[in-house]
């Protein structure tokens, strides 16, 4: 039986109305304070001209100024970090950030892009259009892109490395225990662990009602642990009411996969804590 879980009083994967979040940055700060958080990191989607929900480049200075204003206003109450979530296929930001999250939301195929996490319908349509309905080929391309991002990035955190399972918790699109899926997934988990970067246990799809469990799932997480990887719990929050959504389940999952510790940010530096 598990003893009491240690849950982080922080989250550094958060979105506001600067990109596709529902609340202002200050509303998010107030919600974080109400939860007793010591740290809140903002990680808007960096500019990607193929993605309407990303933050346009000309709003980036305003975003940065607002987070820095809030950082000064709430100094002594909470540490506010200025971060960004970079989509692998987009150009790098010209600005420096406290930290960065590298994520794959799109995959390039036959000169076009398909979106991994827009909707279940769009994922099914991508499988049909680009892979003759073969989800295992789609997943292989997805993981190949994630592997490329891990090898090429300088970001601190690897965002949701099993996002392709977002709409497939019921396993009715494909079977994540099938070797055609598991092979590329575990290769990706191994690379993520050996990169030394923090690997997210991401609960974002739980808040949105798509899943009951975080991603990556047990198979990938166990491989991350076996290969010496480090994990961070992230709510990928798009709504102030969900800042710590699913954290208890994520910590439980981490423990079940053999992790004794996880990492969280304090004053712009990741620190290890016992789970």
- List, in sequence order, the alpha helices (H) in 195-263: 204-207, 218-226, 247-256
Residues 169-208 that bind Zn ion (CB under 5 A): none
Residues 21-50 that bind Zn ion (CB under 5 A): none
CA distances to 125, 153, 157 from 131, rounded to whole Å, are: 10, 27, 30
- Confirm if 51 and 86 have CB atoms less than 8 A apart: no
Residue 81 has φ and ψ, to the nearest 5°, of -110, 145
For the window 223-242, what string marks contact with Zn ion as x by the rule CB under 5 A? -------------x------
As a whole number of angstroms, the distance between CA 265 and CA 167 comes to 29
Of residues 14 and 195, the one with the C-beta less far from Zn ion: 14
Question: What is the nearest approach in angstroms of Zn ion to the Cβ of residue 88?
Answer: 10
- Confirm if 54 and 45 have CB atoms less than 8 A apart: yes
Q: How would you class 123 by CB atoms within 10 Å of its CB: exposed for 0-12, middle for 13-18, buried for 19 or more?
A: buried
Of residues 141 and 236, the one with the C-beta less far from Zn ion: 236
Give the single-character DSSP code of 93: P
- Confirm if 15 and 28 have CB atoms less than 8 A apart: no
Residues 49-108 that bind Zn ion (CB under 5 A): 85, 103
Of residues 32 and 261, the one with the C-beta less far from Zn ion: 32
Of residues 40 and 272, the one with the C-beta less far from Zn ion: 40
Question: What is the nearest approach in angstroms of Zn ion to the Cβ of residue 246?
Answer: 14
Question: What is the nearest approach in angstroms of Zn ion to the Cβ of residue 13?
Answer: 5
Of residues 85 and 176, the one with the C-beta less far from Zn ion: 85
Q: Which residue is nearest to Zn ion (CB)?
A: 103
Total binding residues toward Zn ion, as defined by CB under 5 A:
3
Q: What are the residues binding Zn ion (CB under 5 A)? A: 85, 103, 236
């Amino acid at each position: 039986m598990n003893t009491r879980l240690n849950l982080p009083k922080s989250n550094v994967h958060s979105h506001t109305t600067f990109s596709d979040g529902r609340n202002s940055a200050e509303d998010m700060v107030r919600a974080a304070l109400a939860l007793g958080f010591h740290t809140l990191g903002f990680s808007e989607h960096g500019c990607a001209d193929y993605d309407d929900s990303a933050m346009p480049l000309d709003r980036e200075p305003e975003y940065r100024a607002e987070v820095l204003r809030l950082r000064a206003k709430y100094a002594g109450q909470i540490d506010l970090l200025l971060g960004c979530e970079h989509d692998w296929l987009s150009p790098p930001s010209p600005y420096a950030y406290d930290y960065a999250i590298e994520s794959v939301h799109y995959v390039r195929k036959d000169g076009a892009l398909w979106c991994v996490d827009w909707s279940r319908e769009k994922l099914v349509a991508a499988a049909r259009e680009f892979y003759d309905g073969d989800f295992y080929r789609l997943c292989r391309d997805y993981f190949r892109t994630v592997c490329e991002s891990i090898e090429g990035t300088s970001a601190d955190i690897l965002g949701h490395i099993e996002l392709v399972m977002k709409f497939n918790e019921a396993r009715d699109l494909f079977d994540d225990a099938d070797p055609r899926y598991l092979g590329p997934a575990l290769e990706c988990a191994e690379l993520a662990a050996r990169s030394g970067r923090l690997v997210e246990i991401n609960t974002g799809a739980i808040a949105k009602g798509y899943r009951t469990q975080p991603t990556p799932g047990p198979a990938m997480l166990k491989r991350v642990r076996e290969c010496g990887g480090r994990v961070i719990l992230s709510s990928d929050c798009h709504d102030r009411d969900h800042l710590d959504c699913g954290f208890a389940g994520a910590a439980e999952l981490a423990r079940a996969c053999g992790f004794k510790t996880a990492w969280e940010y304090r004053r712009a530096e990741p620190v290890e804590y016992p789970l």
